[in-house]
Chain A
């Protein structure tokens, strides 16, 4: 080996030494630390319908969200029967998500899971719920407030949840009792609202009728303000009336009371809100007093929360 070659080899060795020294790893720990911590499943997962296109999903604040290894929530929404899904990453402090692209009558599967700082999660911690939107009505078929009139009025005391021709709820007089799902009775100083057949009107013989739940323990004046952990199909329904003067929830309410309804064929579910104003459900004066209602109605048969 001549001197020139030796100098060349030494130069390469020195250069290599410099390069390796300059690129030396300075961190003490490993580059990808793995953690054994995984967020637990969210609790209190519930859903509700704000309008025809918006489903609200809500859950309790996660009790591990102060942990540094808890990174975020991964949310997936998929229309039933579809292979496409929407994935959203939410902050770990989030307690609500509004899905605003819903199509009425479509079932949506919602899942949520917390991820750790390795973007990993336990499949056993995925919480899921199904929901669908419904049509919301504050106006009747005449594009006017939905007023169900007192027994003394010349106007209708019966409510049809949805009238196909009018494309909205419709209030009918007793002569059209076949269309009555629900109704109001104010005879003998009572104010009762509920299933048509349970109102005590003697000539309601062939009414469409409906079954209702008891009042939910809420005080609201907007249908979309309430979310539910259970499908409406799981509630208890019967033909009955709600005593708006004496029911403890109705007495306590200041804005309005709410309950669920289902048609007798169990295919359509609805949510009814009866407004309370100035301490009274009965509004107006004289013979034409009335209760004002909002209706949330599922036009499409047998969507998930109508399944039975």
Chain B
């Protein structure tokens, strides 16, 4: 009986610890440094992906997604309320480099940052 109780307790402890680790991994706020680019430029292999204020506005007006390019990976950015952060990215797109604070999620192979804050690194 003691053995059964001990094993059950161990199993519960393992499950609890594992759940805690996963929860920590999911909510860990990190700083991501990269460049805001147009998804069209990424897909077309454009060499110079630097956006201007006017070009970023054009992308935004024409529903061309703005994404963050970090180490040759594309990240979609969402606000904490779940909406896409294209408007915010549009305002910062003319900077050469930005820092985003938030959490990273990968779903169905697509990288996503849930952003809590953004700042220029120029």
Contact = CB atoms under 8 A, between A and B. Distances in A.
B79 interface: no
B121 A143 contact: no
Interface string B93-118: 01100010000000000000000001
Contact of B52 (A142, A165, A173, A176): A165
A6 interface: no
B53 interface: yes
B91 A144 contact: yes
B119 interface: yes
Main secondary structure of the interface of B (DSSP, over half): mixed
Nearest to A167: B53
B33 to A, nearest CB: 9
A232 to B, nearest CB: 29
Contacts of A150: none
B53 A155 contact: no
A221 interface: no
Contacts of A143: 91
Given A165-B52, A166-B53, A173 B121 contact: yes
A172 B122 CA distance: 6
A156 B91 contact: no
A154 B120 CA distance: 10
A155 B52 contact: no
Interface residues of B, number: 13
B99 A142 contact: no
A155 B119 contact: yes
Contacts of A171: 120
A120 interface: no
Contacts of B95: 142
A141 interface: yes
A176 B97 CA distance: 12
A252 B94 CA distance: 39
B92 interface: yes
Contact of A154 (B52, B92, B99): B99
A165 B121 contact: no
A142 B121 contact: no
Nearest to A179: B122
Contacts of A173: 121-122
A105 to B, nearest CB: 22
A230 B31 CA distance: 48
A143 B120 CA distance: 12
Given A165-B52, A165-B53, A155 B121 contact: yes
Given A142-B92, A165-B52, A166-B94, 20 more contacts: A141-B53, A141-B94, A142-B91, A142-B95, A142-B120, A143-B91, A144-B91, A154-B31, A154-B121, A155-B99, A155-B120, A155-B121, A156-B120, A156-B122, A166-B53, A170-B120, A170-B122, A171-B120, A172-B122, A173-B122
18 contacts: A141-B94, A142-B91, A142-B118, A142-B120, A143-B91, A144-B91, A154-B31, A154-B99, A154-B121, A155-B99, A155-B119, A155-B120, A156-B120, A165-B52, A165-B53, A166-B94, A170-B120, A171-B120
